[in-house]
Structure 1
Amino acid sequence: MMQITDSYNQKNSLFNAMNRFIGAVNNMDQTVMVPSLLRDVPQDQEDKIEMKTFPHGDMYGSYVLLKSIRNDIEWGVLQADERRKDKHGVTAALEMSRIEPDDESLEKLFHFHLNGLHTVLSKLTRKANTLTNRYKQEIGIGGCGN
């Protein structure tokens, strides 16, 4: 009984969610040999949630976004924070670090963000897999399943 619970918890760990996302983006990157073919390929119109999550007009924008997020996960967000500095040179992350919540708030905040990050990574993983399959369809590769 303990092994099943441990296995289930490990499967749903943040580390494993990040690995699934990175693996899906790596697979997408290896499959998409000519990213420019994704230009002007519309996203699935039937998935309204996907359209809100990825407002880019075509699959190429999603491809670039997914690779950028993968790079931020693998290399850290310091470079990304540097790019996002406002005119005063203060990043949003530095602003947030000035807030000193109590220990109970920290635990709640951690769980809130952990849950949110896990949800976002799952959606991004699905998007990378969808994009890979759509690319295969566009270039006519059979057997588009994962």
Structure 2
Amino acid sequence: MMQQIPETPAQKNSLFNAMNRFLGAVNNMDQTVMVPSLLRDVPLGDDAEMCGHKSDVDEGDADMYSYYQLLKSIRRDIEWGLRVSPVVEETPPRLTRINSNASFASSVSSTSSDEDYEEDEDLQKQFQYHLAGLQGVLSKLTMQANSLTKRYNQSIGL
């Protein structure tokens, strides 16, 4: 089992620790669930942790096995990165504008530097918003992995 280092109160809310908690919970789930096929067709039931957080699993396909597969897939995406589609993604227009503003900085008036500051502040707010959202999602996914592990142990009589 993975050894956990004690967290200080300031570190408890870090993205790095949220990811480690999730990865640890999924690794524990993966080590505990020796026969994943036993989870097939097992309804989510009244488990508030599982039913309260509908992920990418369709309502009709919502069984313990689909959650197991989903959690493992998310772990793989975190560890190895997202699978990139062959379609080349374009740079978002907002980022292009910021980059072009930076390249013309020497020839632009002080009004432009005010716009750059507002855009930088906007980027910081966007980052904080998405960081908080990501930490919240990771927390919910960690609870799902722990709940699935607990229910698997109950179903096999441990």
Aligned to 1:3: none
- Structure 2 residue runs of 5 or longer lacking an equivalent are 1-6, 99-118
Cα deviation, residue 140, structure 1: 0.9
Higher relative contact order structure (alpha carbons within 8 Å, sequence separation ≥ 6)? 2
Deviations 1:51-79 (A, max 9, x none): x33544200000000001001111111xx
- The TM-score with structure 2 as length reference comes to 0.72
State the structure with more CA Rg: 2
Cα deviation, residue 35, structure 1: 0.3
Decide which of 51, 55, 58 is 2:63's aligned counterpart: 58
Relative to structure 1, is the Cα distance of residues 114 and 96 closer, same or farther in structure 2, using a 3 angstrom cutoff? farther
Aligned to 1:128: 145
Q: Does 1:76 align with 2:81?
A: yes
| AA of the residue aligned to 1:116 | G
Relative to structure 1, is the Cα distance of residues 19 and 113 closer, same or farther in structure 2, using a 3 angstrom cutoff? same
Decide which of 120, 127, 134 is 1:117's aligned counterpart: 134
| AA of the residue aligned to 1:49 | G
Deviations 1:96-123 (A, max 9, x none): 6443262111101100000000000000
- Structure 1 residue runs of 5 or longer lacking an equivalent are 1-5, 142-146
Cα deviation, residue 9, structure 1: 1.4
Matched residue SS, 2:129 = helix
How many residue pairs are counted as aligned between the two chains? 125
CA distance in structure 2 between the aligned counterparts of 1:15 and 1:121, rounded to whole angstroms? 11
| AA of the residue aligned to 2:84 | D
Cα deviation, residue 45, structure 1: 2.9
Q: Does 1:103 align with 2:106?
A: no
Query: Among the aligned pairs, what percent are the same residue?
Result: 59
Cα deviation, residue 95, structure 1: 4.3
